[in-house]
């Protein structure tokens, strides 16, 4: 559909299009409760607990007061709802501030001040320097005589450099005093979220122009949330308003990412639910049998002779309610709170602050910190991510003559300086092309000095180099160069090109390079790791230029497929170039990049470099970064070819070599592939390419597009691996969003990648600390917190089940409502939340021994086996508490409330010692949480025991006065903890893990250096269960998980995308 905007006539649009009111709110006052409740109960666990709470309202079957479930349920929902309400309120305040901002508009020749929310389609909006653009505008006039203005788009696309915008050719020459009289119509597309494209047409009504059609592009627009810079004023007509602006259409909530830990918790919850159903069925049947055979004989029970039709369901439903606490109701809130703290630790980490820029690390996604500790693949961009993205013009080759080879800097090369001073025609023409063909914006200060703003650091380096060689780009008015005459053709070529056009132009420039010297120059510079660019030119005749201009105007006026038609017209001009020379630009590696990659490779993480550079440059950078060892330790295998057959043969050869090398484990193998061969491999030979990806620890992908980067991430995710993608530019956004974890670097290319990422950092070297310290600690803490939550719930539930065997299997609860509520909410939650401060090893030790990350990658701390250990511990402790409590108090004519309180006390004491035993590093906060919680338990119960109507009146006072109570507590703790301590001691002494050895080394103030283990010794540490399947077949330099035998004969048949054989396994 099309939209017609009538300039300076808002009455025609008021009833058709929306106003400029912005609303990012999720709720309103009226729909908050119903909408939020619906969202809360759309989750299975919440539905389950709601069902349990509703069943407890049935007095015939409930063994406890309904408040025992409704209380925690309401509390948890209240916490979640409050958080949602607070976030939505902050969005409301932000919207209110934007909507009530005062804006100048032109109406009937008068500038009026109105609120931004009152702007309508067709209004002419007047902006002053540094004003924020309130909606999407088409420029009509600026303070610049040539119709240019400068805008900052950082809030829109994250790019920090200024961009130039210009008024349409239809508005050129219109006096500022006549702008309020402009009438016309703009034909534009319906609202869309493409911030880089605006294909529209403008017609101005007489007397300005006689209905001629003029094309409009994104260069003629000012988009919402941009800022007007270095321009006194500008005005434009509103074409998109409110939530229909391009920025408004881009807004949305990203899909939540499911971590491996969350997936495992879901599986364990499902297993517990199945176990619970089995227990309920067995006890329900046993209870009904006991009631019919023995219960009716007991005179004091008084069962009715005939019950209702649902009588057989009463006892099973009682046990369902009784066993419902097997699934901890507070686990989600506890994990969410812990994950929020993990994210804050990343934000607060002073060691991850870039000293140059002051940029701090930031965790935008608070839900996936533990996944950082399970990363297996890192896919990284090169320019700006591994390198500084500070381009420096170093060398060049002009007409076969090399400059800068001896001194290492062409700008100080005496021969080049002499050629410039003597006016060498070839050199001057080379410098002209360097200075003209770009999108650089020259900005002149009040003192007269010129600085440059550029979207591309390469272009800025070339223009600055030309300026130092006295070919100065002064302004964009025809690209006047120093004292040179206007070079209009250069200005025509200074526009933005699509990525497709850029690649075509690079290829076209290279093809005519038949001169051996220039070819050698390109190869020589690439081998040095320099970025190479060939410069060429062509002289146009006037007739050819006029013909081309006519075709260009026609293609640029169409609203359908404009980009393709413009590209076709441009190709007519881009031919028969004469090569002038080759420029070489240096982009240095960031500080600490090789060391960071080396350490992370020792941690078992595999690296893929995805870059748009040529192959030789990428290989040189990879060797410099320690991506792959130099020969003979390392081996680079190249996949190339332009046809399916060539790629098939190359891929088959590389895969065969990799299989042989992998089986012998003698070399560090990496493969290199360019974008063309990669496209064919992903389309026709996906299965063998997937096998190669799994077998190789390192890959270098050259000349890849943003979509190919995302495809490679998806390929590894389908192969059952946790991926992390890191980049710094807008072309990395798709890759970052596709990965399990996205990391953006706040670099010179802007903030677009950082804003799209889950985490943002200032430099690549901080990735080491992000993974090894924050990721590992988060995984360890979450593994303990989640399993402990199940442990404490199973402990109290097992005691209830044991009690049913001495209460006629009737489903009677041993504990009262207050005890059950306080047990889940207060008694057991506070100590474990402070486990977020626990550190099994110091940060220094973790950084020195990266191989300990293997345990996290293989899921050794959270899996069915470790959960079975916690399950067994809860069962054992339940037996200890129940047996000792019953034998201590059952024969003393005690009240059931007293027995219940003794049992609860035993549970609290046991859990205090369990948390203390599992804590590796104590702080004052943890001591207060563990032992202070124990004191709080008695304080709460003393208060409750002093209330006559509580049902526990004087019970705690009487128990504390009895020596037998304290002896029982000591006996419970000793019996419950001694076997656990003994097992821990035996394992720590006779079968210590890598972590235990390092802990011992820290205790004895030793360096604790551990030599990397061999494959066999490493696998001995890991159980044979597939859950513990080692990620590395050789510590730390070998390996991938086997994908099973592959038949060479059919591997290279055309393959569809991987089927269910490549599925994710969540550790």
Residues in the chain, overall count: 1067
Other CB atoms within a 10 A radius of the CB of residue 10 amount to 21
| Residue 491 to residue 473: CA distance in whole angstroms | 11
Token pair 């979640």: residue: 80
53, burial (CB in 10 Å: exposed 0-12, middle 13-18, buried 19+): buried
29, burial (CB in 10 Å: exposed 0-12, middle 13-18, buried 19+): exposed
Helical residues (DSSP H) of 589-643, grouped into ranges: 593-602, 615-624
| Residue 1025 to residue 575: CA distance in whole angstroms | 63
| Residue 683 to residue 63: CA distance in whole angstroms | 62
- Per the CB < 8 A criterion, the answer to whether 820 and 325 are in contact is yes
Element housing 377 (H / E): strand 377-380
The SS3 assignment for 110 reads: strand
Q: What are the φ and ψ backbone dihedral angles of 136, each rounded to 5 degrees?
A: -80, 125
Report DSSP letters for 755-784, one per residue.
HHSSEEESSTTHHHHIIIIIIHHHHHHHHH
Tokens describing residue 846? 């973790």
Q: How far apart are the first and last CA of the chain?
A: 48
- Per the CB < 8 A criterion, the answer to whether 487 and 479 are in contact is yes
Helical residues (DSSP H) of 225-259, grouped into ranges: 246-250
- Per the CB < 8 A criterion, the answer to whether 796 and 907 are in contact is yes
- Per the CB < 8 A criterion, the answer to whether 12 and 237 are in contact is no
Buried-exposed string 550-577: b where 16+ CB fall within 10 A, e elsewhere: ebbeebbbeeeebeebbbebbeebbeeb
Other CB atoms within a 10 A radius of the CB of residue 500 amount to 12
Residue 118 DSSP one-character state: G
| Residue 353 to residue 711: CA distance in whole angstroms | 32
Tokens describing residue 657? 């070599």
Tokens describing residue 1031? 């990620």
Tokens describing residue 956? 């705690």
Torsion sign (Cα): 644, 646, 647, 650: positive
CA-nearest of 7, 243, 281 to 122 is 7
Tokens describing residue 440? 């650089």
User: Which residues touch 378 (CB under 8 Å, ≥6 apart)?
Assistant: 600, 605, 606, 607, 608, 723, 724, 725, 726, 767
The SS3 assignment for 505 reads: helix
| Residue 942 to residue 956: CA distance in whole angstroms | 6
Of 381, 413, 668, 855, catalytic: 381
- Per the CB < 8 A criterion, the answer to whether 148 and 44 are in contact is no
Residue 390 DSSP one-character state: E
One-letter-per-residue 3-state SS of 990-1044: HCCCHHHHHHHHHHCCCCCCCCCCCHHHHHHHCCCCHHHCCCCCCCCCCCCCCCC
Q: What are the φ and ψ backbone dihedral angles of 202, each rounded to 5 degrees?
A: -125, 140
- Per the CB < 8 A criterion, the answer to whether 363 and 357 are in contact is no
- Catalytic-residue membership of 161: no
Q: CA angle, 396 as apex, 391 and 399 as ends, to 5°? A: 150
Residues designated as active site: 381
């Amino acid at each position: 559909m099309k939209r017609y905007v009538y300039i300076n006539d808002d009455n025609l649009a008021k009833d058709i299009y929306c106003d400029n009111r912005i609303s990012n709110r999720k709720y309103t006052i009226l729909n908050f409760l119903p909408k939020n409740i619906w969202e809360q109960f759309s989750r299975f666990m919440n539905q389950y607990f709601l069902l349990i709470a509703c069943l407890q309202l049935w007095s015939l079957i409930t063994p406890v007061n309904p408040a025992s479930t409704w209380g925690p349920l309401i509390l948890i929902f209240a916490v979640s709802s409050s958080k949602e309400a607070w976030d939505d309120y902050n969005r409301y305040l932000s919207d209110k501030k934007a909507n009530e901002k005062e804006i100048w508009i032109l109406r009937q020749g008068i500038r009026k001040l109105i609120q931004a929310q009152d702007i309508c389609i067709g209004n002419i909006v007047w902006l002053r320097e540094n004003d924020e653009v309130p909606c999407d505008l088409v420029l009509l006039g600026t303070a610049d005589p040539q119709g240019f203005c400068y805008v900052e788009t950082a809030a829109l696309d994250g790019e920090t450099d200024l961009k130039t915008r210009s008024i349409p050719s239809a508005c050129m020459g219109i006096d500022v005093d006549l702008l309020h009289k402009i009438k016309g119509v703009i034909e534009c597309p319906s609202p869309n979220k493409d911030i880089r494209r605006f294909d529209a047409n403008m017609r101005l009504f007489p007397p300005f122009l006689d209905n001629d059609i003029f094309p409009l592009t994104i260069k003629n627009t000012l988009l919402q949330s941009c800022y007007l810079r270095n321009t006194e004023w500008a005005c434009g007509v509103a074409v998109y308003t409110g939530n229909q602006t391009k920025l408004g259409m881009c807004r949305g909530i990203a899909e939540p990412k499911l971590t491996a830990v969350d997936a495992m918790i879901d599986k364990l919850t499902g297993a517990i639910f199945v176990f619970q159903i089995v227990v309920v069925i067995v006890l329900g049947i046993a209870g009904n049998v006991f009631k019919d055979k023995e219960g009716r004989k007991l005179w004091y029970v008084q069962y009715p002779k005939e019950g209702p039709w649902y009588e057989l369901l009463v006892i099973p439903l009682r046990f369902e309610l009784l066993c419902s606490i097997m699934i901890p109701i507070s686990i989600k809130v506890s994990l969410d709170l812990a994950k929020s703290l993990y994210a804050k630790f990343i934000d607060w980490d002073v060691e991850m602050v870039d000293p140059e820029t002051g940029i701090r690390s930031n965790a935008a996604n608070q839900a996936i910190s533990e996944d950082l500790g399970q990363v297996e693949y890192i896919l990284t961009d090169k320019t700006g991510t591994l390198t500084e993205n500070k381009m420096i013009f170093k060398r060049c080759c002009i007409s076969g003559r090399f400059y800068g080879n001896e001194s290492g800097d062409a700008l100080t090369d005496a021969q080049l300086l002499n050629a410039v001073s003597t006016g060498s025609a070839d050199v001057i023409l080379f410098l002209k092309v360097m200075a003209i063909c770009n999108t650089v914006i020259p900005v002149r200060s009040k003192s007269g000095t010129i600085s440059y703003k550029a979207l591309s650091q390469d272009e800025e380096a070339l223009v600055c180099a030309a300026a130092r060689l006295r070919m100065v780009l002064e302004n964009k008015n025809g690209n006047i160069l120093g004292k040179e005459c206007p070079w209009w053709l250069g200005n025509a070529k200074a526009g933005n090109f699509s990525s497709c056009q850029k690649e075509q132009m690079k290829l076209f420039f290279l093809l005519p390079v038949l001169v051996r010297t220039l070819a050698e120059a390109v190869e020589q510079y690439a081998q040095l790791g320099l970025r190479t660019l060939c410069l060429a030119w062509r002289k146009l005749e006037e007739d050819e230029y006029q013909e081309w201009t006519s075709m260009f105007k026609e293609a640029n006026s169409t609203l359908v497929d404009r980009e393709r038609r413009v590209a076709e017209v441009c190709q007519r001009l881009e031919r028969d170039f004469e090569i002038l020379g080759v420029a070489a630009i240096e982009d240095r590696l960031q500080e600490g990049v090789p060391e960071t990659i080396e350490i992370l490779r020792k941690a078992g993480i595999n690296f893929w470099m995805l870059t748009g550079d040529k192959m030789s440059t990428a290989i040189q950078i990879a060797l410099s970064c320690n991506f792959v060892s130099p020969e003979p330790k390392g081996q680079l295998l190249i996949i190339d070819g332009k046809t399916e057959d060539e790629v098939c043969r190359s891929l088959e050869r590389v895969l065969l070599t990799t299989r042989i090398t992998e089986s012998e484990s003698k070399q560090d193998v990496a493969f290199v592939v360019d974008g063309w061969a990669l496209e064919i491999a992903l389309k026709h030979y996906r299965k063998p390419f997937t096998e190669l990806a799994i077998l190789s620890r390192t890959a270098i992908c050259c000349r890849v597009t943003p979509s190919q980067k995302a495809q490679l991430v998806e390929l590894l995710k389908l192969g059952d691996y946790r991926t992390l993608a890191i980049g710094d530019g807008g072309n990395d956004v798709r890759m970052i969003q596709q990965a399990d974890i996205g990391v953006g670097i706040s670099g010179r290319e802007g903030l677009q990648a950082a804003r799209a990422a889950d985490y943002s950092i200032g430099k690549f070297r901080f990735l080491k600390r992000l993974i090894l310290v924050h990721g590992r600690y988060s995984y360890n803490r979450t593994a303990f917190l989640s399993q402990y939550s199940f442990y404490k719930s199973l402990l109290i539930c097992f005691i209830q089940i044991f009690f049913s065997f001495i209460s006629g299997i009737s489903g009677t609860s041993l504990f009262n409502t207050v005890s059950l509520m306080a047990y889940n909410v207060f008694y057991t939650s506070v100590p474990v939340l402070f486990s977020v401060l626990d550190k099994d090893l110091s940060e220094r030790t973790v950084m020195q021994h990266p191989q300990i990350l293997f345990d996290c990658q293989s899921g050794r701390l959270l899996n069915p086996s470790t959960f079975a250990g916690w399950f067994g511990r809860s069962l054992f402790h339940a037996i200890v508490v129940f047996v000792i409590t019953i034998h201590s108090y059952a024969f003393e004519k005690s009240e059931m409330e007293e027995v219940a309180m003794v049992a609860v006390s035993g549970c609290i004491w046991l859990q205090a010692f369990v948390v203390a035993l599992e804590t590796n590093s104590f702080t004052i906060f943890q001591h207060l949480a563990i032992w202070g919680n124990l004191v709080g338990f008695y304080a709460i119960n003393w208060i409750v025991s002093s209330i006559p109507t509580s049902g526990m009146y004087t019970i705690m006072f009487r128990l504390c006065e009895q020596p037998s109570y304290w002896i029982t507590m000591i006996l419970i703790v000793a019996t419950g903890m001694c076997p656990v301590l003994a097992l821990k001691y035996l394992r720590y002494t006779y079968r210590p893990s890598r972590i235990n050895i390092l802990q011992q080394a820290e205790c004895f103030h030793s360096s604790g250096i551990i030599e990397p283990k061999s494959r066999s010794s490493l696998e001995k540490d890991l159980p044979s269960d597939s859950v513990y399947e080692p990620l590395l077949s050789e510590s730390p330099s070998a390996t991938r998980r086997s994908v099973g035998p592959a038949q060479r004969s059919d591997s290279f048949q055309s393959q569809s995308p991987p089927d269910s054989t490549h599925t994710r396994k969540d550790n």
